[in-house]
Structure 1
């Protein structure tokens, strides 16, 4: 507990200076901030691209990525244990949800049988495949858990509606929920398996889905663990298979962030972030969004106003609940996650994994 408080106080002190730097510049383009925040590289020993990330604490984190790779650290990233499932080299892991250093669930994406869910109870020493997609039209993107037993996995539209898998036993088994409670998808609409954040949850029953590719980007909300959904448009541009909302983060059942843009390198990504204060029923464009496409976001633990966003072109911080963002690094990351003790991690291409550091007393 003492280390947790120290970590959070250090971050708070650093971010106080960042907040002052943001004051009075809401209309200006995002620029690199003179903030003490930085990602401290934690050598993963691999060149896999990690889009799945689960921060358990400052010392423990899981990463899941290409070539069937799953890594686990228990010493703050000083060393990584390769706990990849045997024979998984052809799988593309895009999400991991962890419940400590021993239990985790990973999702592999792809058409037909490439979409799978695997589970471990012994820190990756052994794995059990608990779901394999048999519908050639289905493609699963990401998953989330409400608690240690209940979770859902999201699949792209089949026959005009997004698919939802549900588990009530911690990922040991999965069932397809009826499509009747799911609104019709827009033509071309899909979810992006970019950061493990195309479906997220807060509390024991609320979940949100991020979409793009259709005429508008949308957020779908469920208050009953995925059985029924409402839908709202967002100001994040879509209208192209490469544009839309890529990542979501909710700090409670009311306050959420959406980040995205156009993932193609060199393409403009104006209005790449939006905020909601009513559980996703309405969304407002950030007054000063990140300056480029962002694929992942995370709230700092126990903060009502501070969050992070990451993407291949850099990272940003907000200290006003997502209304304004300021860049603090240019390193390439695809996903970000924060643990209750204040440990924030980011992961991305070429084996890149970082842990957030903040230097006080500037």
Structure 2
């Protein structure tokens, strides 16, 4: 969406053959769901000391020193507790393979003028990153060697298109979405892991509402679950909607959500699905001086209908992720804090007050968050 000033789902490695390390992360997540309602104080913005009360036996966001304090990271792809990729302003892409203790700048050359708002990672070596913007500013790059080299696999040549998010169903099949062109959201498709892309026909896409668009805020306005299901979150129009496709983007249905819209700054900013049926939506009004009532909703029928959270987050939230191996717990993040739900999104409570834009969790019980001033953190106990 063009109006969001500074504004995922990661493709996991094959897991049947690898061991899942759960001890450290499991302790943190178990403690997190038992936290009292009071918010845990976080480390002050832009600093890297521990983000919890000294001596408190509670999990917390442990800020990592990325060395990129001038960059805002809205793209995040967590591979596991040790490996994560982040992408952001100034054409920046960073990667860690040691749990955030050190970061390698793997930015594509010549990309300093681009904004990388979404990144999807297959493992520590292979990733696909999306640059957003009007016309040729929207691009896709792919690496197969940990970011040592990159190949530009797509450059938008339609001045009417503006790409916001991308997602993958598996290592081969993925989609990217653009704000409406000729009255319908445009969908880009790949079946070779992001090496090549094609625009899908739009005859299966419902007409967009007046002013409707996506928010390139966290890489979570387009998310997939399973091999064929994908959801697209919108805002900016009279109603905030979530569109669903069960055939990899060929045909779509649209559903209204109770998240307020009616303004270019309001709507659903992120969705997350723990399976093809149960999902969460978060958003609000991204302007700091505006309230964000009813900023979260839930679905239990694959997005056909949405219900408002009875106790939503207290402010705008741009990212959301289910906690691994949980059927009821999830985290939502935004510039004013992190909120936790333990009842599948019906009620939320603030557990941290640090600023983050996006969040991602992995099956080995690793949770990562990223945001402004080079902030990247991992959940620790």
Could you state the TM-score of these two structures normalised by the residue count of structure 1?
Answer: 0.94
Distance 2:198 2:20 in 1: 41
Select the residue among 247, 255, 261 that pairs with 2:270: 247
Distance 2:290 2:276 in 1: 33
Q: CA deviation at 1:8?
A: 4.5
Alignment RMSD (CA, Å): 1.3
Counterpart for residue 102 of structure 2: 79
1:13-49 deviation per Cα after TM superposition (whole angstroms, max 9, x unaligned): 313423xx46xxxxxxxx5269923110001101210
Question: Residues 195-274 of structure 1: matches in 2 within 5 Å?
Answer: 195-274=218-297
Counterpart for residue 26 of structure 2: 9
Alignment of 1:174 onto 2:197: yes
Equivalent pair of 1:7/1:341 in contact (CA under 8 Å): no
Distance 1:351 1:231 in 2: 36
Select the residue among 87, 91, 94 that pairs with 2:114: 91
Number of aligned residues: 348
Counterpart for residue 63 of structure 1: 86
Equivalent pair of 1:141/1:193 in contact (CA under 8 Å): yes
Change (3 A) 1:48 1:251: same
Question: Residues 139-158 of structure 1: matches in 2 within 5 Å?
Answer: 139-158=162-181
Matched position secondary structure for 2:203 = helix
Alignment of 1:112 onto 2:117: no
Answer 1 or 2: which has greater helix percent: 1
Q: CA deviation at 1:201?
A: 0.4
Counterpart for residue 358 of structure 2: 335
Equivalent pair of 1:301/1:338 in contact (CA under 8 Å): yes
Select the residue among 300, 308, 314 that pairs with 2:337: 314
1:76-107 deviation per Cα after TM superposition (whole angstroms, max 9, x unaligned): 00000000000000000000000100000000
1:94-137 deviation per Cα after TM superposition (whole angstroms, max 9, x unaligned): 00000100000000000000000000000000000000000001
Equivalent pair of 1:94/1:107 in contact (CA under 8 Å): yes
Equivalent pair of 2:222/2:232 in contact (CA under 8 Å): yes
Matched position secondary structure for 1:180 = coil
Distance 2:20 2:256 in 1: 41
Select the residue among 58, 61, 64 that pairs with 1:42: 64
Distance 1:265 1:350 in 2: 17
Distance 2:74 2:67 in 1: 16
The runs of at least 4 consecutive aligned structure 1 residues that moved more than 4 Å come to none
Select the residue among 147, 161, 169 that pairs with 1:124: 147
Change (3 A) 1:16 1:195: closer
Q: CA deviation at 1:11?
A: 3.1
1:190-221 deviation per Cα after TM superposition (whole angstroms, max 9, x unaligned): 00000000000000000000000000100000
Matched position secondary structure for 1:215 = coil
Distance 1:60 1:53 in 2: 11
Distance 1:5 1:313 in 2: 29
Matched position secondary structure for 1:321 = coil
Equivalent pair of 1:106/1:117 in contact (CA under 8 Å): yes
Change (3 A) 1:218 1:264: same
Matched position secondary structure for 1:320 = coil
Matched position secondary structure for 1:350 = coil
Could you state the TM-score of these two structures normalised by the residue count of structure 2?
Answer: 0.89
Select the residue among 293, 312, 316 that pairs with 1:289: 312
Distance 1:16 1:98 in 2: 28
